[in-house]
Amino acid sequence: MYYFARRAVSGEKGVGVCLRKFITAPPLYVGQMKFYVKNEVEAYLDKTFYDACALNLNECNKYNQMRSLAKQKYGLVLADPQLPNGSLDQSVDFIDVLRDLDRK
């Protein structure tokens, strides 16, 4: 958490380069085990973005932008969460659809 706080506040320009170094580095070997930092970061961001999107669908666009930024800046390939883009207010309300079905 210490690093998080320090780096988050600073927003230095060199941070991106520094982080890219970790991601582009070859895998780490411990005995017969391989440890890919890139995979770990991708898994973490996938999970975090998915959870955040699922909680608040209004921010889907924002996270999509962040995904493309992640690819652009760090070469991270993040999976599409396959969540509906938008909220109940902005698109067809499925409850209304059900009501219509009842009427019919």
The residues of the shown chain that bind another protein, judged by CB under 8 A, are 1, 3-4, 7-8, 11, 15-16, 18-19, 21-23, 25-26, 28-33, 35, 37, 40-41, 44-45, 48, 62, 65-66, 69-70, 73-74, 76
Please state the closest distance from residue 96 (CB atom) to another protein, in A: 33
Rank residues 75 and 88 by Cβ distance to another protein and give the closer one.
Answer: 75
Residues forming a β-bridge with 28? 35
Rank residues 56 and 91 by Cβ distance to another protein and give the closer one.
Answer: 56
DSSP codes of every residue in 68-96 = HHHHHHH---PPP----SS-TTTS--HHH
Rank residues 1 and 97 by Cβ distance to another protein and give the closer one.
Answer: 1
